[in-house]
Amino acid sequence: MEYAEILGNPLFVPLLVAILTILTTAYFNYWLRKWQYRREYVISNVEKTYIPLLAEIQDNLKSFNRFLETPYDLTFDFEKMESIKKSGLFEFIRNHDKKLGDGLILFYENIYPRFQKLVELEQETRHQILEIWTSHISRLISDETARRCSKTFVNYLYNDGLYLMLLNGKLSEGCAIWDSRVHKMTEEFNLYANNRQAEKGKVKVLSNVKFPTFAPSSQELEILGELSRPMMESLLAYHNQTKELVETEVVNGFIPLMQKYIIDPLAG
């Protein structure tokens, strides 16, 4: 009877509706606040993480893509990525988008170390080539003072891209690089000599010294090319393998995902 009386009470239905309304409203408000918090959290982290991280990756890719032009100037800086890794935001990225997170982790663990290794290989290769070229060229230079500067001259030739011309069999372009550097080195050599004379209080001006005192034949350039070929081919093979990974996993992999979320952080 008690239940029947309760159910029959004209206030029961309005009271039940009121209780259900309060509970539903509370749950909805809780869910809404949670959704808003998550939305703001995602947007905030995308803005402070994805944008600078993408800029850093793209800057380093530009350096990587200039490798064939200026391998001696190869440097990488992933300060932002290191900071994100240490702060644990890789996990946030992985929760946001598993494919994007896995791509970044793959980059950090496999491709980033290859960038560092490429820098080390380039430095080792350059050192070996400069030593071999210097040894060969110094025997061909008759002037004693110029011979002592042959290592500087060879370093200039390397930086001017002579190794690439020789590697590709472009001997005429190699000769042009050599001639251009001879002209520049001669000017520097004579300027140095004149300054030394001035320091000693002498007025004699050296204007006929040429560095080095010979023009290379195609045969000599071929010899330099063959001397450096095994080392350069090994370095370029490592670079090309890394480039394939970069194209597959980075350029066509997680970068488009990052760009998508930068435009719309809540994109599905």
Averaged confidence pLDDT in the chain: 77
What residue type is 165 in one-letter code?
M
pLDDT of amino acid 112: 93
pTM given for the model: 0.71
| Closest C-alpha among 106, 61, 58 to residue 243 | 61
Q: Report the candidate in 140, 139, 162 with the shortest Cα–Cα distance to residue 225.
A: 162
Asked whether residue 220 carries a pLDDT value surpassing 80, the answer given is no
The confidence band for 25, taking pLDDT boundaries of 50, 70 and 90, is low
Average pLDDT over residues 24-37: 54
The structure tokens listed for 241 are 């393998």
The residue ranking higher by pLDDT, 30 or 114, is 114
R_g over Cα of the chain: 34
User: Distance between CA atoms of 181 and 165, rounded to whole angstroms?
Assistant: 14
Per-residue pLDDT reduced to its tens digit, 93-119:
888 889 999 999 999 999 999 999 999
The tens digit of pLDDT for each residue in 55-69 reads: 999 999 999 998 877
What is residue 149's predicted lDDT score, i.e. its pLDDT?
A: 67
Provide φ and ψ at 218, rounded to 5°. Answer: -60, -35
Confidence tier at 203 by pLDDT (50, 70, 90):
very low
